[in-house]
Each structure stands twice: as C-alpha cells, then as structure tokens.
Amino acid sequence: MSIETIPNIGNVEFRPIQPEDGPAVVRYFEAITPEDIRMRFFGPLRALSTRQVEQATQLDPERELAYVVQDRTTSDLLSIGRLAFEPGTRRAEFAISVRSDMKGRGIGRFVIERIIALARERGISEIFGDILEENTTMLAFAKQLGFSLTNVAESAAIVRATYTL
C-alpha cells in the first residue's frame, strides 16, 4: 500500500484489491459508461454478478494481482489494474480500467507504471494486453508508453500491446 499524489486528482492510495472491496467494485462498475465497459470487456455488460465480484476481489497471488487506486477523501475507487501470470512462462497479461469521469487525468499512466514495476518485481520479462482496434485512445497511449502493437491473428478487431521489461 502506498499513498501518493496524482496531479489534478489529489491524494490516492494504491493498494492490492481485497475481498471486502466487493461493494466498492460494484459502485466503480456502475460509474463506468457502457462504451467504456465495452472497450474493457469487449462486449456489453450491464452489471457484475456476485461471482464476477468475487473473482475480481478474491485472487490467488501466485496467478494474478489486482490493485486499486482509491481516492483518500471519498474512498471511491478510481482505477483498477490487473496482472495475470501465464503458468510456466515469464509473461503476464495486463488490464487496466479507469472510471469514466476520471479519464484523461493521468490515472492510467499512474497505474500502468506501477503495474510494470510490479511485473519487474515478480521477474516477469514481458507484459501484454489485448485492445479493441477501435479503442484508438488506448492504442495511442500504449504506443506512447513504448508498447509494440501487433494484430491478433484470431481476430482482426483486436490488437495486442506488448512491453518487454
């Protein structure tokens, strides 16, 4: 856990997600626009089931990590970042989301920089994430951060962003 300041946001806590974060995760999801949900989950999703909330908050740290950015004033979740480790490799898949009303304010960069640092600490040599081809904002962001972008053979609609550590 660390308390940090994000310019134009204020003091936030960056910490591992916890099982008791379930209600906060539900509120976080409700604050994301349907379009942002589609971009993150590659399809529409109206609500999180109890099982999905449990899967998001109760992790096996040998297989997956998830961290939240929590506003220190309101206790609201502003972002969630994840790393899922590929068994038997030094690769991990990343995923991040930022609450819709907080996009464009530096939270995504804050989270991905910390996700990269966490991957390095775990001995990961490469992280990757799949992005919808139409999500031009995320693709430009990934390219700006030094990720290489390649088309996914199985789907012309998906681009894989890869970062070598």
Q: For 120-141, how does the pLDDT look when each residue is reduced to its tens digit (9 = 90+)?
A: 999 999 999 999 999 999 999 9
Tens digit of pLDDT for each residue in 42-87? 787 888 889 989 999 999 999 999 999 999 989 999 999 999 999 9
What's the burial of 91, exposed, middle or buried (CB within 10 Å: 0-12/13-18/19+)?
middle
Q: Which of 93-102, 128-137, 152-161 has the lowest mean pLDDT?
A: 152-161
* Amino acid code (one letter) for 51: R
In this structure, are residues 112 and 124 in contact, taking their beta carbons and an 8 Å threshold? no
Least confident of 100-104, 150-154, 158-162: 150-154
Between 25 and 38, residue with greater pLDDT: 25
Q: What global pTM score does this model have?
A: 0.91
Domains of the chain: residue spans and CATH: 2-124 (3.40.630.30)
